[in-house]
Amino acid sequence: MRRVFLIALAVVALAIVVLAGHWMRVWAAIDHPAASDEKRDLVVDGVTRHYLLHVPAGLHPGRRAPLVLVFHGGGGHAANMPGFTHFDDLADKELFLVAYPDGVNHHWNDGRAGSTADDVAFIRALLDELERSYPIDAHRIFATGISNGGFFSNRLACEMTDRLAAFASVAATLPEPLAPACKPSRPISVLYIQGVNDPLVPIDGGKIGFRRGRSLGTCLSLAESAKFWRANDGISAPPISDDLPDRVNDGTHVRRQIWAGGKNDTEVVVYTIDGGGHAWPGGPQYLPKFIVGTASQNLNATRTIWDFFKRQSLNP
């Protein structure tokens, strides 16, 4: 019996080592910036802030280009996001700039009282600096992020519709404490991507956080969040709905809803992923499924977000 126990223990230990090695390789692939991403600093109100910047080599001289802001999740940092999303590769093909800002202490002040940093002032200063230095199209500046970064993108839409043409939120809805104070100055186009089986951000709203863990605040449901932005955009028509074809057999399925016809040609688009977890669809399975759920491969979130952004412009 002791021999059997020792063999079983050895098998478990070996499995742990193999799995640990696997997840270390996954993180090694996404936890460093590309060589083409420049590390930059910016002092805002006496605080030194950091970001990565990717400028495609093929930008046309004299032609203004779009800018996409990509925000990391809570506990992450800017260096995660190029390898996590592959926005650099797409930017090189489609000729837009990408900025990956860093939150203070790896978090964004998204309205849930998790941070006191003036991140909105940081992003305004960042846009000012980039617009001074590069031929950025001020009518095509966009924000996207995952989890804490997605919640923060919602906040930027509440407070910076004078600068942003659209935002896309992945694995995050509208923070509940933010909703009453959210008074956008104009309509804005919105895209949500949310997994039905997200164990951290419940699709039906409520407490944010893993089961049996401490609460990380509360959020509105996906349906309530989309309704909020439809009201802001003056959209009353019913959506066009369809199911996307499965590309792989990974237990997930993607449904899409498009509400069009908003003021200033705005729209609200929602991708709901049956079987999807707290992840960037098309991105890596960065943690085991029993922790974060499935990273669906039936949708390429990066390509989907950019195709959505390409249709948007900040109208006067």
| 70 domain residue, yes or no | yes
Q: Is-contact 241 164, C-beta < 8 A?
A: no
CATH of the domain at 265: 3.40.50.1820
Clarify whether residues 25 and 115 are in a common domain: no
Q: What are the structure tokens assigned to 229, written together?
A: 């932005």
Clarify whether residues 8 and 122 are in a common domain: no
pLDDT of residue 27: 41
pLDDT of residue 15: 31
Within 8 A by CB and 6+ apart from 85, the residues are: 70, 280, 283, 301, 302
| 139 domain residue, yes or no | yes
pLDDT of residue 236: 95
Clarify whether residues 128 and 98 are in a common domain: yes
Clarify whether residues 109 and 11 are in a common domain: no
| 263 domain residue, yes or no | yes
Clarify whether residues 13 and 143 are in a common domain: no
CA 292 vs CA 78, 171, 276: distances in Å:
20, 11, 9
| 40 domain residue, yes or no | yes
pLDDT of residue 14: 37
Clarify whether residues 130 and 1 are in a common domain: no
| 269 domain residue, yes or no | yes
> How far is CA 112 from its chain centroid?
17
If one counts the domains in the chain, the total is 2
Clarify whether residues 151 and 230 are in a common domain: yes
Clarify whether residues 82 and 17 are in a common domain: no
Clarify whether residues 130 and 245 are in a common domain: yes
Residue 27 burial by Cβ neighbours in a 10 Å radius (0-12, 13-18, 19+)? middle
Phi, psi (5° rounding) for residue 9?
-65, -40
Residues in the chain predicted with pLDDT less than 50, given as ranges, are 4-29
| 315 domain residue, yes or no | no
| 270 domain residue, yes or no | yes
Q: What are the structure tokens assigned to 314, written together?
A: 């900040």
pLDDT of residue 114: 79
pLDDT of residue 25: 41
| 316 domain residue, yes or no | no
Clarify whether residues 23 and 46 are in a common domain: no
Clarify whether residues 10 and 129 are in a common domain: no
pLDDT of residue 60: 84
* CA separation for the pair 259, 241 (Å, rounded): 9
pLDDT of residue 26: 45
**pTM of this structure:** 0.90
Within 8 A by CB and 6+ apart from 188, the residues are: 157, 161, 164, 165, 166, 167, 229, 232, 233, 266
Clarify whether residues 157 and 55 are in a common domain: yes
Containing 253, the helix (H) or strand (E) segment is: strand 253-259
- Of 306, 311, 315, 316, the closest CA to residue 68 belongs to 306
Q: What range does the domain containing 170 cover? A: 36-310
